[in-house]
Chain A
Amino acid sequence: MAYFTQQLINAITLGAIYGLIAIGYTMVYGIIGMINFAHGEVFMIGAFISLIGFIICGSLGISSAPIAIVLVLLLAMSFSAVYGWAIERTAYRPLRGSFRLAPLISAIGVSIALQNYVQLAQGARPKPGGQVVSGGFNLFTADGFDVRVTWLQIIIVLVTVVLMAGFTWVIAKTSLGRQQRACEQDMKMASLLGVNVDRTISLTFVLGAALAAVAGMLFLMYYGVIDFFIGFLAGIKAFTAAVLGGIGSLPGAMLGGLLIGLIEVFWAGYFSSEYKDVAAFAILVLVLIFRPSGLLGKPEIEKV
């Protein structure tokens, strides 16, 4: 029981990170119907900017962890957002109205280019850092096994919950959210009614990238080491999460993230850690076969 609880706590933490990345996939898919394959790389770049930010904070003598975290968070979000904007502007916008698979192929190109760009600029070695929060407390002890919750895990879940709440509010209540929902339903009609479609899509990418950057920072703090390749696996898993929850649905993305975190952690905890990624991919395949619209998604009707 104690082991189970511990795994559950770890799984929720991991799931929160996946959920944050998954939101970016789900929003972009919802609005322009493309899989933003480069989203995982934005997450990776967010992690790198956070790493650099933490080192700068250290050299400036900012020793208070909360201040450093908030500073780095803002830094990573704003600079990664520029990446999201630039990717959409240069690689996807010129392709709107091109043939069906063009944006996906372009996105794969962006993903390859960004990976190698970071590898060239920052080196191929894994980079340690970002461990500014340490310690935790024992929840309870059973069968001689301490169930521990670290402060970091609490921070990760708190940040995710706050961002999710804020984000749901943006989509539901603000004019930007209304424009996004309008574009999602019918882009042409929305533009006829005075919605600036280009701007709305740009902002969707910016928001998604900012959330991915938060996930990157949390990932860095949680694992303490990053490299240029983390975006690929994390991106695929987050996409799986988005599909599992029902692509296009925000609560679905969060739920899917949690489920993927649970599957991965429990598979590694009870079966074998080598095959944990296989489990995640197998889930993706199974969901797409048996419930392509996901757990919370609406079935798509194909129009001729």
Chain B
Amino acid sequence: MGPRLPLMLKDAGLTAFVAAALGFFVVGFRTVDQGGGKGLGFDYQLVDLAVAVVAIFVGRLGLSMAANGLRWPAIALGIAMIAAGASPMKLPSGFLHWFVALGGVLLVIRAVWPWANDAMGAAARTPSGVALGKAGAKWFGWLLLAGAVLLPAMPFADQKTMDLGVLILTYVMLGWGLNIVVGLAGLLDLGYVAFYAVGAYAYALLSTQYGLGFWTVLPLAGMMAALFGIMLGFPVLRLRGDYLAIVTLGFGEIIRLVLLNWFDLTNGPAGIGSIPGPTLFGAVFAETPPPGKQTVSEMLGIAFDGNHRLIFLYYIILGLALITNLFTQRMRRLPVGRAWEALREDETACQALGINPTNTKLTAFAIGAMFAGFAGSFFAAKQRFISPESFVFIESAIILAIVVLGGMGSQIGVVLAAVLLIGLPEWFRDLGNYRMLAFGLAMVLIMVFRPRGLISHREPSIRLHPAGSGGGG
């Protein structure tokens, strides 16, 4: 390790220097209102910054050690960082304890990663490992589905869990919808939430203004969103990838701004309230029936329980999500689905083979938008209140992150990513903005280290020679 150590120290020193320069003003001098008309003053956090810079120095040193095969020193540094973060020693802020300790954890993971990777790879190559892997790939989805169907019957399924389940499934559905556009057709859509908003407002307006029920509006909302998809898609789908991304982003913002400012229709920033929930064969979920209606507990002759509504919502979104999935799976086997994937791979070749790129993209765009419209009207029925606040750009970014993290085009990957990105942060809600900071950083890290997502292997939709038939010649 002799001659390399000075280089590593220099590298870590440079990193720490850059970090210090980055943080010097923004972190070191926190501007606070002094009150009494004296304007802004400073709350100095230079000590915090110094601690963070030292942690970054140690962390970077450990990382370069791990990269150079010096695993034990790296692990020792990582454990030292964890100990420092977890120790009762008084660091200037609670965040720094977390920062140092988490840095240590990441360092240890990085240091043992090659071993873990080798061990896992070796285990997967043994005969039983191969069999297990094959069975897992085949049954994993079904297992997940069984778990999802049985979740409300589980003893631990209290209101919080069910709420989280509904939320995750909403994002799974949105992720699957966007997967058609991004994963299959390869069109980067940064304004997907606009179609979600169209669906939500369609249901909110039609139900509160015209008294239409959830099940009547659901297909209408999907059609409306698809129409918006076609209206937007038709002129812009000729554009290249990243231009298209920005135009869709602009479109998403236009929809949000219109919702925000068109008071007569949308009630502006105050939003629309008292939206009726979905009914079960005309019966409503409530303790006392509204005039002329029947409650579900009366109809089924069971005692009223506030959780019934939630369980019902859970199964609706589970059903909607599964329809999205099934639809996508079938579409991939149709000519248009194959054209989407071909278009993603090489647009010029597709044109040469007589595929009309604009129409093909348009179908992907409209179908993706339709599912967002379904999810949107479900969202409105679940929340019973919607406002433009719910349809900001960050939502589009989250849905996109789910698709990308899952591995573009992978259906099961979307589920894993939604659980990871929506479920985990929901448990850590108290962390507030740290959550979004970590979210942004995670997007970068995924792109850098695993650009193909969690499930990077994708079964081809079609094989010229079925596997095992000895084809290929």
Instruction: Tell me whether B242 is interfacial, beta carbon within 8 Å.
Output: yes
Instruction: Contact check, B245 vs A35: say whether CB atoms are below 8 A apart.
Output: yes
Instruction: Contact check, B42 vs A55: say whether CB atoms are below 8 A apart.
Output: yes
Instruction: Tell me whether A134 is interfacial, beta carbon within 8 Å.
Output: no
Q: Which residues of B sit under 8 angstroms from A111, Cβ to Cβ?
A: 440
Interface 0/1 of B378-404, CB less than 8 Å to A: 000000000000000110010011001
Instruction: Tell me whether A232 is interfacial, beta carbon within 8 Å.
Output: yes
Instruction: Tell me whether A211 is interfacial, beta carbon within 8 Å.
Output: no
Q: Which chain B residue has the least Cβ–Cβ distance from A34? A: B242
Instruction: Contact check, A109 vs B42: say whether CB atoms are below 8 A apart.
Output: no
Chain B nearest CB: distance from A238 CB in Å?
A: 12
Instruction: Contact check, B239 vs A292: say whether CB atoms are below 8 A apart.
Output: yes
Chain B nearest CB: distance from A119 CB in Å?
A: 6
Q: Which residues of B sit under 8 angstroms from A104, Cβ to Cβ?
A: 188, 242, 245
Which 7 residue pairs across A and B have the least CB separation, nearest first?
A109-B443, A113-B440, A112-B440, A281-B250, A106-B447, A116-B437, A109-B444
Instruction: Tell me whether A101 is interfacial, beta carbon within 8 Å.
Output: yes
Instruction: Tell me whether A121 is interfacial, beta carbon within 8 Å.
Output: yes
In the assembly, what is the distance between CA of A91 and CA of B258, in Å? 34
Instruction: Tell me whether B442 is interfacial, beta carbon within 8 Å.
Output: yes
In the assembly, what is the distance between CA of A104 and CA of B250, in Å? 15
Instruction: Contact check, A277 vs B444: say whether CB atoms are below 8 A apart.
Output: no
Interface 0/1 of A272-304, CB less than 8 Å to B: 001101100110110011001000000010101
Contact status of A86 and B242, CB under 8 A, knowing A106-B444, A117-B437, A285-B251: no
Contact status of A102 and B447, CB under 8 A, knowing A118-B26, A122-B31: yes
Instruction: Tell me whether A49 is interfacial, beta carbon within 8 Å.
Output: yes
Q: Which residues of A sit under 8 angstroms from B441, Cβ to Cβ?
A: 109, 113
Instruction: Contact check, B25 vs A288: say whether CB atoms are below 8 A apart.
Output: no
In residues 76-94 of chain A, which contact B (Cβ within 8 Å)?
79, 82-83, 85-86, 90-91, 94
In the assembly, what is the distance between CA of A133 and CA of B444, in Å? 40
- Looking at B21, B433, B440, which has the most chain A CB atoms within 10 Å of its CB? B440
Instruction: Contact check, A120 vs B250: say whether CB atoms are below 8 A apart.
Output: no
In the assembly, what is the distance between CA of A120 and CA of B240, in Å? 36
In the assembly, what is the distance between CA of A112 and CA of B39, in Å? 29
Instruction: Contact check, B436 vs A239: say whether CB atoms are below 8 A apart.
Output: no
Instruction: Tell me whether A189 is interfacial, beta carbon within 8 Å.
Output: no
Contact status of A119 and B433, CB under 8 A, knowing A102-B451, A284-B246: yes
Contact status of A52 and B25, CB under 8 A, knowing A119-B433, A122-B31: yes
In the assembly, what is the distance between CA of A110 and CA of B241, in Å? 20
Q: Which residues of B sit under 8 angstroms from A85, Cβ to Cβ?
A: 18
Contact status of A112 and B257, CB under 8 A, knowing A35-B242, A106-B444: no
* 12 extra interface residue pairs, beta carbon distance < 8 Å, beyond A105-B401, A288-B239: A79-B24, A82-B22, A91-B448, A101-B241, A112-B440, A120-B437, A121-B26, A122-B30, A278-B257, A281-B250, A282-B250, A304-B348
Instruction: Tell me whether B434 is interfacial, beta carbon within 8 Å.
Output: yes
Instruction: Contact check, A52 vs B31: say whether CB atoms are below 8 A apart.
Output: yes
Instruction: Tell me whether B355 is interfacial, beta carbon within 8 Å.
Output: no
Instruction: Tell me whether B254 is interfacial, beta carbon within 8 Å.
Output: yes
Q: Which chain A residue has the least Cβ–Cβ distance from B21? A: A82
B236's partner among A100, A101, A288, A302 (CB-CB below 8 A) is A288
Instruction: Contact check, A288 vs B243: say whether CB atoms are below 8 A apart.
Output: yes
Q: Which residues of A sit under 8 angstroms from B258, Cβ to Cβ?
A: 278
Instruction: Contact check, A86 vs B443: say whether CB atoms are below 8 A apart.
Output: no
Chain B nearest CB: distance from A197 CB in Å?
A: 19
Q: Which residues of B sit under 8 angstroms from A91, Cβ to Cβ?
A: 444, 447-448
In the assembly, what is the distance between CA of A110 and CA of B235, in Å? 30
Q: Which residues of A sit under 8 angstroms from B433, Cβ to Cβ?
A: 116, 119-120
Chain B nearest CB: distance from A40 CB in Å?
A: 12
Instruction: Contact check, B440 vs A109: say whether CB atoms are below 8 A apart.
Output: yes
In residues 23-38 of chain A, which contact B (Cβ within 8 Å)?
34-35
Interface pairs (25), CB distance under 8 Å: A49-B26, A55-B29, A95-B451, A101-B241, A101-B245, A104-B242, A106-B443, A106-B448, A108-B400, A110-B444, A111-B440, A113-B440, A116-B433, A116-B434, A117-B26, A129-B40, A236-B253, A277-B253, A278-B254, A281-B251, A281-B253, A281-B257, A285-B251, A289-B236, A300-B240
In the assembly, what is the distance between CA of A94 and CA of B394, in Å? 25
Instruction: Tell me whether B32 is interfacial, beta carbon within 8 Å.
Output: yes
Q: Which chain B residue has the least Cβ–Cβ distance from A277? A: B257
Instruction: Contact check, A128 vs B253: say whether CB atoms are below 8 A apart.
Output: no
Q: Which residues of A sit under 8 angstroms from B243, Cβ to Cβ?
A: 243, 288, 292
Interface 0/1 of A152-187, CB less than 8 Å to B: 000000000000000000000000000000000000
Q: Which residues of A sit under 8 angstroms from B394, Cβ to Cβ?
A: 112
Instruction: Contact check, B241 vs A100: say whether CB atoms are below 8 A apart.
Output: yes
Chain B nearest CB: distance from A66 CB in Å?
A: 21
Q: Which residues of A sit under 8 angstroms from B274, Cβ to Cβ?
A: none
In the assembly, what is the distance between CA of A53 and CA of B240, in Å? 41
Q: Which residues of B sit under 8 angstroms from A116, Cβ to Cβ?
A: 433-434, 436-437, 440
Instruction: Tell me whether A258 is interfacial, beta carbon within 8 Å.
Output: no
In the assembly, what is the distance between CA of A282 and CA of B39, in Å? 39
Chain B nearest CB: distance from A300 CB in Å?
A: 8
In the assembly, what is the distance between CA of A99 and CA of B407, in Å? 13
In the assembly, what is the distance between CA of A288 and CA of B245, in Å? 11
Interface 0/1 of B163-192, CB less than 8 Å to A: 000000000000000000000000010100
B25's partner among A79, A123, A292 (CB-CB below 8 A) is A79
Instruction: Contact check, A86 vs B247: say whether CB atoms are below 8 A apart.
Output: no
Interface 0/1 of B238-266, CB less than 8 Å to A: 11111101110111011001101100000
Instruction: Contact check, A86 vs B18: say whether CB atoms are below 8 A apart.
Output: yes
Chain B nearest CB: distance from A18 CB in Å?
A: 15
Q: Which residues of A sit under 8 angstroms from B254, Cβ to Cβ?
A: 278, 281-282, 285
In the assembly, what is the distance between CA of A207 and CA of B249, in Å? 26
Instruction: Tell me whether B33 is interfacial, beta carbon within 8 Å.
Output: yes
Q: Which residues of B sit under 8 angstroms from A289, Cβ to Cβ?
A: 235-236, 238-239
Instruction: Tell me whether B439 is interfacial, beta carbon within 8 Å.
Output: yes
In the assembly, what is the distance between CA of A274 and CA of B438, in Å? 33
Q: Which chain A residue has the least Cβ–Cβ distance from B232? A: A285
In the assembly, what is the distance between CA of A48 and CA of B40, in Å? 12
Instruction: Contact check, B261 vs A274: say whether CB atoms are below 8 A apart.
Output: yes
Interface 0/1 of A196-211, CB less than 8 Å to B: 0000000000000000
Chain A nearest CB: distance from B9 CB in Å?
A: 19
Q: Which residues of B sit under 8 angstroms from A127, Cβ to Cβ?
A: 31, 40
Instruction: Contact check, B249 vs A236: say whether CB atoms are below 8 A apart.
Output: yes
Interface 0/1 of B18-49, CB less than 8 Å to A: 10011111110111110000011110010000
